[in-house]
């Protein structure tokens, strides 16, 4: 009998703090180029913040695309231009008050903001009905416990708390003027399956409904109406054999050929991690561009303009899918759906870059 034996789900949120960071606030100070150079050079693993790959056991295709194959030796100048974050050294341990669910979390400090990810690894076997019932519980119910929690918290509260803690760690207090979306980006990847046929997905079939459920983190698509499969799916040309779906802020990744083997499941796990890093990066860049949209670029101080330049440059690179950045169809859709494409184009022109997003 076919089953789904492993699913990884991540919830992501960011906040932009450009006004604070560009004026030199923050310990470490990341919003000014000189401060970033010092912080990056000193983030060798002993302090509260470390380079994002320190302690990671797997080679990162994400960082390799941005910084080159020997990314662990990347210069501070290259890291600034790519807006590489520092990773929190010891985020709080979270536990799930649900069987067969493991939790982990990551906290990042970017030059213009902060980002957090909470990831749940669900162990099966499950059929689609049982899986989506569990996923719906994780999305809606208080199931997260941790040090200092008087009772379990829902994922939304956990994400907000982690962002507040990151701001306090950097600034001494949470910033009420920070800018960020309240709705998290979610990524769900099926990493392990048994006897699941690699068949073409058709409008309204079981797999279509399963993937919609993973995008929405809800069991409703199993029995209710579903959207237009053609507009929800991405072209498989860039990743043959892997189906990618996006609905609103939710993404789902499905590859029964790969998830049927441990080696393939490992590669799907790496792909999932790359998508986390890509979505967080795009999100904090978009938050920063959204904050700047309230001003004429020329009215902003020199330090703020210096911070905005790599932000709008990277958004252009990610949108255009250049070879020296990890850019994906998910990220391009994220930028499109932000409603900021015209704004970013104008910001690019005002900061001296040629051309709008294309």
Res 238 pLDDT > 70? no
Comparing 92 with 54, the larger pLDDT belongs to: 54
The CA distance from 286 to 249, in Å, is 14
Contact 279, 250 (CB under 8 A): no
Cβ neighbours of residue 39 under 8 Å, at least 6 residues apart? 28, 29, 30, 49, 86
Neighbour-count burial for 264-275, b at 16+ CB within 10 Å, e otherwise = bbebbbebbbbb
Domain boundaries, the chain: 3-283, 292-350
Reported as a pLDDT band with limits 50, 70 and 90, residue 251 is very high
Percent of the chain with pLDDT over 90: 73
Helices (H), 175-261: 206-216, 229-232, 256-259
Contact 155, 144 (CB under 8 A): yes
- Cα 121–228–252 angle (5° rounding)? 15
Query: pLDDT value at position 239?
Result: 63
Res 211 pLDDT > 80? yes
Res 255 pLDDT > 70? yes
Reported as a pLDDT band with limits 50, 70 and 90, residue 18 is confident
| Mean pLDDT to the nearest integer, 309-323 | 89
The CA distance from 327 to 320, in Å, is 8
Query: pLDDT value at position 236?
Result: 66
Name 244's bridge partners.
253
Lowest mean pLDDT segment, chosen from 47-51, 159-163, 252-256, 352-356 = 352-356
Lowest mean pLDDT segment, chosen from 15-29, 160-174, 280-294 = 15-29
Phi, psi at residue 145, to the nearest 5°? Answer: -120, 160
Query: pLDDT value at position 242?
Result: 86
Q: Which helix (H) or strand (E) holds 122?
A: strand 113-126
The CA distance from 258 to 326, in Å, is 21
Contact 247, 208 (CB under 8 A): no
The CA distance from 244 to 61, in Å, is 19
Query: pLDDT value at position 237?
Result: 54
| Mean pLDDT to the nearest integer, 161-179 | 88
Query: pLDDT value at position 141?
Result: 94
| Mean pLDDT to the nearest integer, 184-196 | 96
Tens of pLDDT, residues 73-87 = 999 999 999 999 999
Give the global pTM. 0.95
Query: pLDDT value at position 90?
Result: 80
Query: pLDDT value at position 240?
Result: 66
């Amino acid at each position: 009998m076919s089953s789904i034996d492993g699913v990884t789900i991540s919830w992501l949120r960011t906040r932009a703090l450009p006004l604070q960071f560009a004026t030199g606030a923050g310990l470490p100070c990341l919003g000014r180029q000189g401060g970033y150079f010092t912080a990056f050079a000193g983030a060798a693993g002993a302090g509260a913040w470390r380079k994002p790959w320190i302690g990671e056991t797997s080679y990162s295709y994400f960082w390799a695309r941005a910084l080159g194959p020997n990314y662990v030796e990347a210069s501070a100048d290259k890291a600034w231009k790519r807006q590489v974050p520092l990773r929190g050294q010891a985020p709080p341990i979270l536990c799930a008050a649900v069987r067969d669910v493991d939790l982990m979390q990551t906290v990042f400090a970017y030059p213009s903001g902060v980002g957090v990810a909470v990831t749940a690894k669900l162990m099966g076997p499950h059929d689609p009905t049982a899986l989506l019932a569990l996923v719906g519980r994780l999305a809606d119910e208080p199931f997260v416990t941790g040090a200092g929690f008087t009772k379990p918290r829902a994922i939304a509260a956990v994400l907000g708390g982690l962002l507040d803690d990151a701001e306090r760690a950097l600034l001494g207090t949470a910033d009420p003027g920070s800018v960020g979306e309240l709705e998290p980006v979610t990524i769900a990847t099926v990493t392990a399956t048994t006897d699941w046929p690699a068949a073409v997905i058709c409008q309204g079939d079981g797999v279509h409904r399963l993937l919609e459920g993973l995008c929405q983190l809800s069991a409703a698509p199993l029995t209710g109406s579903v959207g237009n499969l053609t507009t929800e799916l991405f072209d498989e040309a860039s990743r043959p054999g892997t189906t990618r779906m996006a609905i609103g802020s939710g993404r789902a990744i499905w590859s029964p050929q790969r998830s049927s083997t441990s080696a393939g499941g490992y590669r799907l796990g790496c792909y999932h991690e790359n998508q986390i890093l890509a979505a967080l990066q795009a999100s904090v860049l978009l938050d920063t561009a959204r904050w700047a949209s309230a001003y004429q670029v020329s009215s902003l101080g020199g330090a703020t303009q210096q911070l905005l330049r790599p932000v709008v440059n990277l958004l252009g690179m990610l949108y255009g899918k250049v070879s020296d950045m990890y850019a994906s169809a998910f990220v391009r859709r994220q930028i499109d759906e932000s409603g900021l494409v015209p704004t970013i184009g104008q910001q690019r022109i005002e900061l001296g870059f040629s051309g709008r997003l294309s």
